[in-house]
Amino acid sequence: MKKILPFVFGGVMGFIISLYFSVYFIYSGRLFETILVVIITLIVSGFLHILLHELGHVLGGWLTGYQLSVFRMLYLTLYRGKSGWQTKVDKQSITRGILGQALMVPTKKNVPVIPYFLGGITVNILLGITLLAVARTLYQPLWNNILIVAGYVGIFFGGMNLMPIDPTDGYHLKEILRTPSYKEQLRQVLITYKQLMQGVPMHEIVTHIDLNDKIALSQSNQTSLMILKILNAIDQHEFNQAYALSQQLWSVFDQLFNGYKEEVYALHLLAFLLADNDSLEMIQNFKQHPYFEKVITSDKPEHATVQSLYAAEVDGNYSRAMTRLSIARERLDLIETKIEQAVEERLLIYLEYIYRR
């Protein structure tokens, strides 16, 4: 049911807008001009509503004792580093489904969380309703159409984010109300992300991560924290521990948020290949999994590291292993945070060393 809710909501909104403009087309006879206005308005208002949604989070957080640490719009990321505000172009953010993001850190332990998560939704819906109300007072067709489209886009964005489906704001609000300990987990995630952006060493970050046993590991925040614990174990060359941790995520693979599945598969395979494990049965299981093609045989550059290790350890093809290693090194700057870049770089140095032995 949860999976079809966005499609149902989107379908209803699309039907309402289509019905309105179908009637308008019949009476105006200006089909091309109206379609052009609708397309342009959808693009421009969509961008503005994303921006205003994030600013709504900032306002809600600021009023209740939060400090902004990361603000992202499309490819551009602004973050508060140790030396002040810095910018970064993150080309992977959109592929992860992140069009905008405002991460704020609570300045005290018991600050309220609902205004922070509700701020963006409130701005979108109230602005959408206001635009529709103003449109009813206008008799100029061009501006009338623009305001109606922009208004429905705002309501659509607000409504989609209000749905209790991980990882929307509505999902976080539902969990906050249902599970008292979820608030502390959110605080931990926000602080962890700030530390990553500021360059705090991975082993220091991980010492403060306490996975909540009352919350499913498949929940997106829990998944993110577990991934960091796995990366830290790999960075410390505790490969068997990394594999044991990755097995926990693997056990809930089918319940994971889709945006994490490819990353978790690649990380689990990487940990398996690094650990003291030569199970042919497990290798066959990996090869038969639907994500094997996406991660290994597709030659996706973002998975060049695990492709390199697979070529060396399974195929015995050290020429390909070194080639994929070079590609992984060329992509270091595309990794989101400097700490994760450093972990990846140290892993590449280690792999190059064992290949040359």
Residues 27-44 pLDDT 10s: 455 555 667 777 888 889
Confidence of residue 4 (pLDDT cuts 50, 70, 90): very low
* pLDDT tens digit sequence for 179-226: 877 888 888 888 888 888 778 888 888 888 888 777 788 888 889 899
pLDDT at res. 123: 95
Q: Count each helix (H run) and each strand (E run) in the chain, helices first.
A: 15, 4
The residue among 316, 330, 317 whose CA lies nearest residue 278 is 316
- pLDDT at residue 270 is higher than 50: yes
pLDDT at res. 240: 94
- pLDDT at residue 98 is higher than 70: no
More confident residue, 25 or 135: 135
Q: CA 172, 176, 178: angle at the middle one, nearest 5?
A: 115
Contacts of 4 (CB under 8 A, 6+ apart): none
Tokens at 17, concatenated? 């807008």
* pLDDT tens digit sequence for 50-76: 999 999 999 999 999 899 988 988 878
The residue among 286, 295, 325 whose CA lies nearest residue 309 is 325
**Contact by Cβ (8 Å): 75, 90:** yes
pLDDT at res. 141: 75
Alpha carbon distances (Å) from 209 to 36, 200, 217, 230, 250: 50, 13, 14, 12, 20
Q: Any idea which architecture 190-356 has in CATH?
A: Alpha Horseshoe (1.25)
pLDDT at res. 181: 79
Tokens at 249, concatenated? 């995520």
The CB density around residue 181, as the number of other CB atoms within 10 Å, is 12
pLDDT at res. 288: 93
pLDDT at res. 43: 87
**Contact by Cβ (8 Å): 116, 50:** no
* pLDDT tens digit sequence for 236-262: 999 999 999 999 999 999 988 888 899
Q: How high is the mean pLDDT of the chain? A: 83
Domains in the chain: boundaries: 5-70+100-163, 190-356
Confidence of residue 129 (pLDDT cuts 50, 70, 90): very high
